[in-house]
Amino acid sequence: MKRNLTNLFILLIALLCNSGKLAAQSGITPKPLYEEQQKGTFTLNKKTAVYTNLEGEERTNMLSLLRKSPLKLSKKGKLNKKNTINLLLVDKSEEFPSLESYQLSVSSLNITITATSGAGLFYGVQSLLQLTNQNKEVEAQKLPAVLIKDTPRFAYRGLHLDASRHFLPKEFIKKQIDMMAYYKLNRFHWHLTDGAGWRIEIKKYPLLTEIAAWRPYDTWKEWWKNGKKYCTKENPKAQGGYYTQEDIKEVVAYAQARFITVIPEIEMPGHSEEVLAVYPELSCSGKPYVDSDFCIGNDSTFTFLENVLTEVMELFPSKYIHIGGDEATKKSWKTCPKCQARMLSENMKDVDQLQSYMIHRMEKFLNAHGRKLLGWDEILQGGLAPDATVMSWRGEQGGITAVKAGHQTIMTPGEFCYFDAYQDDPSTQPEAISGFLPLKKVYSYNPVPDSLSVDERKLILGVQANVWTEYMPTLKHTEYMIYPRLLALAEVAWTAPERKSYTDFYERALKAIPFLESRGYNAFPLKDEVGERPVSLVRENHLAVGKVITYKNKYYQNYSAGGDSALVDGLRGGWAYADHRWQGFIGKDLDVTIDLGSSMSIHSISADFMQIIGPGVWMPRNVEISVSEDGTTFTPLKQIDNDVPENKEKLIFRDFGWGGNVTARYVHYVAHQNNKGGFIFTDEIVVK
């Protein structure tokens, strides 16, 4: 009876544990499924030859890569001869549960990599390259004898790069594809269009690249703050760029040679300011610089989108075409006569269904051309298209909902997979949008939620890292945010959970930094990592812990931090407001009363707040602290006005507190909303 992949994992792990031979620690990332140390070493030298039974284009690509790699293998050898590297396609069997599975055997005589496909052989070669890079000598490289049997956990292992907010040159894209291949990632999600710039040549609509690809500002932030205007390339201040169709073909072919599929993203219906600035007739107002969403009531919108996607499909052979679908404001649809007429004719109840209509219609178009629709989890709103695949970014719930409805899903929740977040103490880092995502947290992610059944788990295709470049104005900054976190994501995507160990991975990641730097990549200096906010690492013991707290205004449900006890549980927040310890309030004051249970001597009352203006998190306008013996009559202790400037760009923490001597049973703490609106967050009201 045929074993399934899970059973194979268990079998190989058992073999590893019970084998009388010494388990190897090859230092390969992602960590292989099975490693066994053998006797002897193989000496790689100038006479080492290569033999393969690959044929056609795959053979040509493989031999070319080997010649250009650090192995510098150009000599052709014969099967199983001494000092030969054998790359062998073999018949399918239980030992190779995936087309990407491989086995690597290093002996004193030769090296043999076996797989059932070119992809499997390619990944075996990447493991060999990693072994080689770790074992360098002056004249020759001695590789320890080892047996590796390996297979990926997920079929989809992705990296997303946003080329819209800051244009990423073609050579930079190819450079990242090289490192993706080295760490066995196989999907490159190319975010080509967004409000900040259109980046792909569409011959039927030349204004997209003549104007919508350029802006008179160096950075996304400047563009955002100054009216989101565009210009022509001839403008002396013009910044931006786009990929010609020949550029696209070159990158796609480059990726294909490394067994990476390039998935294009063309945003719709929202994030489309750049399109509507140059083709305003596709907007609800019909005017440039007014709308950000396509007019769904206008048939010309669908003509435009279908024409664009037709050219896109000619360039990208990917099964999936990503259509975005996220963060549409839908504001203009509510009053647009064309949209309202569409809703009436289609018996729609709300604008969510209008978006769903668009998604369904685009899916039919893509399906008719042999493609599948992929979109962010907002495409669930109003009803999901029949064959669509969901990319779950707003947490895991969108993915769970899609899976339970029978749809395939790729997990990419912001909490674990958004590499635009700070990766260390924000005061030591270049500016980021918000959040805190250290290497350890990326590594900790399990893309398969426990709530799913065995059959539902099969619908989780894999996992993806997302790099959004609003706050990454340079190529060096972008790479700094990618590495080494991408290595952690690669191991999440490839390695069986039973084989993972952060302690082991961390040591490999430390060694990877100098390797990355030697190849010209600008990586975060992991050895200098500061880590999490110190106060979050130990429980705070104070008078209010575990006491009854009463809220006048309810906190925002998505940032509850655990509910009504969150501000008196002794747990302080970290660097990020989304770490489940910071409690958020939007459009309302934080207004709470704490009953200490009995009258007692109090010497200080305080709470921390944060400000990071990118996502709209502000300090309170002011804080009022008062106390009472009976819970009815309160004595004011102090009012603290905010002195943090509203234009301060980086993440800031500030304590709003009182100190002195008073006897009381009840503590009343009020933090008034900032004039800017947005959120206020606090993690604990500390009473001592």
pLDDT digits (tens, 9 = 90+) for 551-605: 999 999 999 999 999 999 999 999 999 999 999 999 999 999 999 999 999 999 9
The domain in which residue 465 lies consists of 156-526
**DSSP states of 438-489:** -HHHHHH--SS-TTS-HHHHTTEEEEEEEE--TT--SHHHHHHHHTTHHHHH
> Could you give the residue ranges of the DSSP H alpha helices within 346-474?
351-368, 397-404, 414-417, 439-444, 454-457
Q: pLDDT category, 57, cuts 50, 70, 90?
A: very high
For 315-345, write each residue's pLDDT tens digit: 999 999 999 999 999 999 999 999 999 999 9
Dihedral over Cα of 123, 5, 388, 30: its sign: negative
Q: Which segment of 54-68, 135-149, 193-207, 439-453 scores lowest on mean pLDDT?
A: 135-149
Q: Is the pLDDT of residue 234 over 90?
A: yes
Q: pLDDT category, 178, cuts 50, 70, 90?
A: very high
Percent of the chain at pLDDT exceeding 90: 91
Q: Is the pLDDT of residue 100 over 50?
A: yes
Cis status of the peptide bond prior to 484, with omega within 30 of 0: yes
What is the CATH number for 121? Answer: 3.30.379.10
92 and 175 inside one domain: no
110 and 190 inside one domain: no
Residue 531 in any domain: the answer is no
In the listed set 483, 501, 526, which residue is the last one of a domain according to the structure?
526
**Six token digits for residue 284:** 């609800």
Q: What was the pLDDT predicted at 137? A: 52
Q: What is the chain's alpha carbon radius of gyration, rounded to the nearest angstrom?
A: 28
Residue 512 in any domain: the answer is yes
Residue 61 in any domain: the answer is yes
552 and 452 inside one domain: no
**Six token digits for residue 550:** 């009463």
Q: Is the pLDDT of residue 17 over 70?
A: no
- HEC string for 173-238: HHHHHHHHHHCCCCEEEEECEECCEECECCCCCCHHHHCCCEECCCCHHHHHHCCCCCCCCCCCCC
86 and 169 inside one domain: no
Q: Is the pLDDT of residue 130 over 80?
A: yes
Residue 161 in any domain: the answer is yes
Q: What was the pLDDT predicted at 485? A: 98
254 and 334 inside one domain: yes
In the listed set 495, 526, 557, which residue is the last one of a domain according to the structure?
526
Write b or e for each residue in 526-555: b if 16 or more Cβ atoms lie within 10 A of its Cβ, otherwise e. beebeebbebbeeebebbbbebebeeeeeb
334 and 281 inside one domain: yes
Q: Is the pLDDT of residue 525 over 80?
A: yes
554 and 409 inside one domain: no
Q: What was the pLDDT predicted at 288? A: 97
In the listed set 131, 150, 169, which residue is the last one of a domain according to the structure?
150
Residue scoring higher pLDDT (15 or 633): 633
What is the CATH number for 568? Answer: 2.60.120.260
Q: What was the pLDDT predicted at 394? A: 95
Q: Is the pLDDT of residue 71 over 90?
A: no
For the chain, the domain total comes to 3
**Six token digits for residue 554:** 């309810």
Q: pLDDT category, 23, cuts 50, 70, 90?
A: low
Mean pLDDT score of the chain: 94
Q: What was the pLDDT predicted at 20? A: 39
Residue scoring higher pLDDT (632 or 136): 632
Q: pLDDT category, 676, cuts 50, 70, 90?
A: confident
Q: Is the pLDDT of residue 11 over 50?
A: no
Quickly tell me which residue has 């490159």 as its tokens. Answer: 188
Contact assessment for residue 290 and residue 228, using Cβ atoms and an 8 Å cutoff: no
Residue scoring higher pLDDT (249 or 80): 249
For 367-421, write each residue's pLDDT tens digit: 999 999 999 999 999 998 899 999 999 999 999 999 999 999 999 999 999 999 9
For 257-267, write each residue's pLDDT tens digit: 999 999 999 99
What is the CATH number for 242? Answer: 3.20.20.80
591 and 505 inside one domain: no
Q: What was the pLDDT predicted at 24? A: 61
Q: Is the pLDDT of residue 167 over 50?
A: yes
Supply the residues annotated as catalytic: 194, 271, 327
Strand partners, 322: 265, 374
**Six token digits for residue 365:** 């178009």
295 and 418 inside one domain: yes
202 and 134 inside one domain: no
Residue 532 in any domain: the answer is no
193 and 91 inside one domain: no
199 and 348 inside one domain: yes
